[in-house]
Amino acid sequence: MSSCANLTGARGYFHVLRRWLRRAPMLLMIVSLAPAGALAQTTNWESYLPGSSSLPGLPTGTTSPAGASTTSLAAYNVGPSTVTVAGLSSGGYMAVQLQVAYSQSIFGTAVFAGGPYYCAQGSINSAVGYCESGSGIPLQTLIDYTNAQAASGKIDPTTHIANKPIYMFSGTNDTTVHQAVMNTLQQYYETYTSSSNIAYNQSMPAAHGWISPDGPNSCNSSYIPYINNCGIDAEQTFLTNFYGSLNAKNTGTLTGSYIKFNQNPFVSGGNANSYSMDSTGWLFVPQNCANGQPCRLVVALHGCLQYQGMVQQQLVQKSGINEWADTNNIIVLYPQATRTSSSNPLGCWDWWGYLSSDYALKSAPQMDAIMAMVAQITSGYAPAK
């Protein structure tokens, strides 16, 4: 992909776009980097995407929350020190950004096929180059940037990353974010914490996707909705790393509720779409949490082509987290990005700077919005007396 550096103008980008279309699912993270002019030259480019012509339905016997009315995000008795984050692909990169920028507030992190903090450095060539292949990632530059931003107060002090639980998953057959990228993420984290705090599964023949026992896709596949069943329960692993021993998960009908909430109040100006975020997001709330019992919070971040406009509520219902959350007093927040035709047509989270050059700092619009949601949820915290 080094040839990208020599391509300029809409014609060059369109040439690259057509090449990438033939190499789907690489589009998961990179097609949204093409300018609007290039995208305008192909009318039905989404039809080339793997799996785009047929979206699997919701699980048999599960009631779709799609018709749920939108409500305001409520406050719950959630301890601020229990907030963790998990994400895939662009959501994996965003999870790392949140962990590093808000290390005082984020306790643990689970990363499926993401990469090191500030990997793209605001550059399209970096994003589609070494941030996918892993070859030539300037690790020391990223570390220096992290330290400089922490020193300036634009992100939290890096000392808060130490001793936090980190789970990483990278499939050996992932050709979207190659394992070398995640290996570099491990090296990045080891700059700030002990390797004993990192659980890294890098041995399974998985393709690019969120790994869940409820996934409709086979392990070695990479197509919509990008939720793969690899015969393991990754959610049990990372939730145990985060919170210790768990009660058995609910294998029947969940007793908790899916709540569709308004995301607009959490962005500057009150218009989530202006920041490539949907007007609504989702929350899974166990009955105990709704009743005011002390609870924890996991923020689950979808990847590109996993936003609700593309896959409906499939990740919301099939992430594999809710079944454990239902019996362990864990609320799950599913913020929603969305597509914008000009800069983000695949609904990715901003991990390369399509919204702002400060995309990885605490001032970044999307990260600020997510943390505002977290603040609202945890505002009902009632410490035990």
Catalytic positions, please? 89, 174, 208
Tell me how far CA of residue 352 lies from CA of 1, 34, 133, 239, in angstroms: 17, 13, 15, 28
The CA-based diameter of the chain, rounded to the nearest angstrom, is: 65
Taking the C-alpha atoms of residue 274 and residue 366, their distance in angstroms, rounded to an integer, is 10
80 is written with which tokens? 């601020």
**DSSP H/E element including 85:** strand 78-88
168 is written with which tokens? 């990483």
Tell me how far CA of residue 110 lies from CA of 33, 113, 120, 239, in angstroms: 25, 10, 20, 9
CB 370 within 8 A of CB 68: no
Tell me whether residue 330 is exposed, middle or buried, using C-beta atoms within 10 angstroms of its C-beta: 0 to 12, 13 to 18, 19 or more. buried
CA angle 144, 150, 151 (to 5 degrees): 90
Spell out the residues 6+ positions from residue 323 whose beta carbon is closer than 8 angstroms to its own.
214, 235, 249, 250, 251, 254
Helices and strands per DSSP (H, E), number in the chain: 14, 12
Please confirm whether the linkage preceding 25 is cis (ω < 30° from 0): yes
239 is written with which tokens? 């939730």
Taking the C-alpha atoms of residue 180 and residue 114, their distance in angstroms, rounded to an integer, is 11
